[in-house]
Amino acid sequence: MTFQPRSPLTPAELARRAEVLTASREPNLTSESADARQYGERAASIIRECKRDVALASNDGKLAAFEAAATTLSTAVTDRWLPKAIIADRLQEIADAHSSFGKSQEKIQRIISNAVAQIDVPPIELSAKAPPNRRLIACRASELEPEKLVWVWPGRIPEGKLVLLGGPPGLGKSQLTAFISATVSTGGHWPCGEGSTLPGDVIFMSAEDGVQDTIIPRLIAAGADRERVHIVSAATRVCT
């Protein structure tokens, strides 16, 4: 197999590549990780694509790409993917990364203000009907039969009950949740001869650890069946 040598990059291509690399520096990656943790992967993806579109645009088209990104972000707020409060900051970050595209700060602020003004988040409609009359629902203890407690982890985690795992930082609580998820997903054995569990699905919610750089490696290390582990990234409100 023969390869044709690639012609050297032109000065314009070198400058454009440098801008793309500058737009992907570590501070931006940190910002994207924070956005993913706070607002979900979909929201972070929208912001990331806007930054990339502006970075990849030609010098003459960067301002137009920035205006398109402003419209995209305002639409994302209207669709409830992003909070309104962060739009101005993210657009200003993009403008600062490209030296305001050679335009005055007044013009940049006008573009950002117009994008924020376009945001139209429909209010949540409250029912006009009067609230239903409340009543107490009770039964006699004599009408109920005792039931056997079913354990997922015998003596530790009962089925269908709320269990609190608490303790100071650094004791391995997150590692333990990854181990529990792996054991449940595979129907594995608990330590110290404390029995086993049937295979089941796991819903994993975390507001602290990164999904792909922390949770997934822990699940792999614990031997989890990742097909059975469902990681929640965000929730949306459906308005009718």
Mapped onto helix, strand or coil, the DSSP state of residue 4 is: coil
pLDDT digits (tens, 9 = 90+) for 83-94: 887 888 889 889
Confidence (pLDDT) at 127: 54
* Beta-strand relationship, 229-231 and 157-158: unpaired
Total residues belonging to the chain: 240
What is the spatial distance between Cα 38 and Cα 24, in angstroms, rounded to a whole number? 20
Closest CA relative to residue 161, chosen from 179, 147, 172: 147
pLDDT in tens, 125-137: 555 555 666 778 7
Q: Are 93 and 85 in contact (CB under 8 A)?
A: no
- How far apart, in whole angstroms, are the C-alpha atoms of residue 17 and residue 23? 10
In this structure, which amino acid lies at residue 88?
A: A
Mean pLDDT of 211-240: 87
Residues 199, 85 contacting (CB under 8 angstroms): no
pLDDT given for residue 182 in this prediction: 95
- pTM, entire model: 0.44
Q: Which of 126, 99, 100, 121 is nearest to 112 (CA)?
A: 100
Q: Tell me if 202 sits within 8 A of 215, measured CB to CB.
A: no
Beta strands in the chain (DSSP E): 151-153, 157-158, 202-204, 229-231
Q: Read off the pLDDT band of 9 (50, 70, 90).
A: low
Per-residue pLDDT for 123 more than 70? Answer: no
Work out the mean pLDDT of the chain and round it to a whole number. 82
CA distance linking residue 81 with residue 45, whole number of Å = 10
